[in-house]
Chains A and B, each alone.
Chain A
Amino acid sequence: MKDGARPTWRLRLYVAGQTPKSIAALANLTRLCEGHLAGRYHIEVVDLLAQPHLAREDEIVVIPTLVRTQPLPIRTVVGDLSNEERVLVALGVMPRERGE
């Protein structure tokens, strides 16, 4: 498979302060992206304690929540992202990596 376009993965991680789960989620996500999407990902961390109105606007219930906003469609993963395989499948990264 060719990847001439090489899309950038835009990922948004919603946390609520520096809780163990939030810290773990960000660490897990960073490691995973470096491993599979190096150079073509962008992580934005949204702390709902600082911006509580975003919980309603962005439809957040569970913490931590990871949202893939690009490429479409939007995908959502909740949890501290400790199960790497599930995250990769949900984000649509895994099959591509396997296919190579």
Chain B
Amino acid sequence: MTATVRRPTKRGGNGRHPLAKAPTGIPGLDEITNGGLPRGRPTLVCGGAGCGKSLLAMEFLVRGALEYDEPGVFMSFEETTDDLVENARSLGFDLPKLSTRRRLLLDYVHVEPGDLTESGEYDLEGLFIRLGHAIDSIGAKRVVLDTIELLFSALSDEFVLRAELARLFRWLKAKRVTAIVTGERRGDQLTRHGLEEFVSDCVILLDQRVTDQSATRRLRILKYRGSAHGGNEMPFLIDDHGLSVLPITSLGLAHQASTAHVSTGVVGLDGMFGRKGFYRGNSVLVSGTAGTGKSSVAAHFVDAACRRGERALYLAFEESPSQIARNMRSIGIDLEPWMRRDKLRILAQRPTALGLEAHLVAIHRVIADWKPRVVVVDPVTNMIAVGSETEVKAMLARLIDFMKLRQITALFTSLTEGGGAAERTDLGVSSLMDVWMVLGNLEENGERNRTIQIVKARGMAHSNQVREFVITGQGITLVDVSRRADGSVAIGSARGAQQRQQARAGIPEVRRRAK
């Protein structure tokens, strides 16, 4: 009756993983670790002071207790239990309640340099008994030691301490508890006293940097033995929901490509994509200079989604919801009923109001909680105001992957600076997009006419024409193409004249088919 018992693979673990994992429940962290921390083994979480080590560790326990039925012991060498309770409250965690229900046990180990005199040989058996009793008394599956390195300041025999720590980590493994051990980073060393030499399975580094006067927190998996992991730095955020890691690049390109179609919402525009519109899950870029009608295209798209009964999320970085609603009403799109029926949510915020990461977290939360089928980001270029170009691009890539995975069709507008080439976006994000439409103004014969063209549309036959469109009280309408005898396309009043002339001559309108 021994040996052949296979441990059941827990959720989050994929069946082929040789390593069982304990999900942290922290949004994003389980994605980049492919399911969580190594089950039954210690993980080292290190970083400078105030980088969020303790909070990460605490959330690991709280979520373990609440979501995975795994009680936990938090052994703190630094903060008193009152401090722990207070800090956790700011993340929305009620530690006293968890303690009363015996899902969590907090133990503050008071070690003060100079408190005790040493005389002769000693060991840390007291700590083992103390921790062992705590684990057994609530049936703990998770343990946090935060940060055990403080023992080095209270006790002078480093040789004994190192031997005892090595024994402690072996003992934790034998106890089959999933543990987080924190360590404080100093200089180019991961931890002050080289804890990393005892923890060979998983090492996570936290970091807080200040760029452009805003603090950015980052997380990196330095090591994860036996498991694939992303080595990238991931921004993370601590707010009143706890931690969120924004990892979505790790999802890679594994999403299912849909063959279902989603209407652009603009009469005639679907026809340019072989009559059906975008693929569901596409990311669409609509670029153009100021006043070319980008927001109007976005509003049509949103309106069509709501008409289909789908939820639409509109992230507005320039205008307030009421301003958007008013402007769109002027072109015959009434968004208010959708907002009243909660089919449409407009999230208006200047990007500078929050940091880049905070923005991304806010967006992710709404998407994860409210589950829209369609998302508009208007304009994505405003994001540059809060981050460097590479940061913004990386963030967008994550956002796009995140939405693709959920089969959300997303439309991004991008403002092109006047004078620049039309086929240029200020972010260089077009490579991330499946569909790219460029809106323009063509000045000819003393008038300014609106044009739209499809620069690319992955996996779809699409028109190569530069089409003219008008925005009227009934919204955007693509007008039929009219060609002169020399093959050039007549637009604006020239088109009108051309069409009248052709009608008189009985010549049928010449249409160029999509190639």
Seen from chain A, the residues whose Cβ lies within 8 Å of a Cβ on chain B are 14, 16, 19, 21, 24-25, 28, 48-49, 52-53, 55-56, 59-65, 75-84, 86-87, 89-90
Contacts and interface: CB of A to CB of B under 8 A. Distances in A.
Contacts, number: 98
A55 B110 CA distance: 12
B119 A83 contact: yes
A64 to B, nearest CB: 7
Nearest to A25: B120
A59 B110 contact: yes
A21 B117 contact: no
B119 A61 contact: no
Contacts of B125: 16, 19, 48, 63
B115 interface: yes
B120 A79 contact: yes
Given A14-B126, A62-B126, A63-B126, A52 B120 contact: no
B49 interface: no
Contact of B117 (A53, A60, A82, A86): A86
B348 interface: no
Interface of B: 107, 109-111, 115-127, 129-130, 132-134, 137, 151, 155
28 contacts: A24-B120, A28-B120, A48-B129, A49-B129, A52-B129, A52-B133, A53-B133, A55-B129, A56-B130, A60-B129, A61-B127, A61-B151, A62-B116, A62-B122, A62-B155, A63-B122, A63-B123, A65-B116, A75-B117, A78-B118, A78-B155, A79-B119, A79-B121, A80-B122, A81-B120, A83-B119, A86-B118, A90-B119
Given A52-B133, A53-B133, A55-B133, A60 B126 contact: yes
Majority-rule SS of A interface residues: mixed
Nearest to B109: A61
Contacts of B132: 52
Nearest to A77: B117
Contact of A90 (B110, B111, B117, B122): B117
Given A16-B125, A16-B126, A86 B119 contact: yes
Given A61-B151, A62-B155, A55 B120 contact: no
Contacts of A25: 120
Contacts of A90: 117, 119
Contacts of A49: 129
Contacts of B119: 77-84, 86-87, 90
A76 B380 CA distance: 63
B126 A61 contact: yes
B34 to A, nearest CB: 36
Given A59-B109, A63-B126, A83-B119, 18 more contacts: A14-B126, A52-B132, A56-B134, A59-B110, A60-B126, A60-B129, A61-B124, A61-B130, A62-B126, A62-B155, A63-B124, A65-B116, A76-B117, A77-B118, A81-B120, A83-B120, A86-B118, A90-B119
A77 B116 contact: yes
Contacts of A16: 125-126, 129
A64 B125 CA distance: 8
B506 to A, nearest CB: 99
A73 to B, nearest CB: 11
A19 B124 CA distance: 13
By CB atoms of chain B within 10 A, which of A56, A63, A87, A89 has the most?
A: A56
Contacts of A81: 119-120
B164 to A, nearest CB: 9
Nearest to A79: B120
A56 B132 CA distance: 11
A18 B111 CA distance: 25
A4 to B, nearest CB: 29
Nearest to B131: A55
Contacts of B129: 16, 48-49, 52, 55, 60
Given A61-B124, A63-B123, A78 B117 contact: yes
Nearest to A90: B117
A55 B130 contact: yes
Contact of A52 (B110, B111, B118, B130): B130
Contacts of A82: 119-121
Contacts of B151: 61
Contacts of B121: 21, 79-80, 82
A60 B124 CA distance: 9
Nearest to B107: A56
B476 to A, nearest CB: 71
Contacts of A19: 125
A46 to B, nearest CB: 11
Contacts of B117: 75-78, 86-87, 89-90
A65 B123 contact: no
A76 B129 CA distance: 19
B130 A62 contact: no
A49 B126 CA distance: 9
Contacts of A79: 118-122
A6 B111 CA distance: 32
A19 B129 CA distance: 14
Contacts of A56: 107, 130, 133-134
Nearest to A22: B125
Contacts of B110: 59
A86 B400 CA distance: 67
A45 to B, nearest CB: 14
A79 B156 CA distance: 12
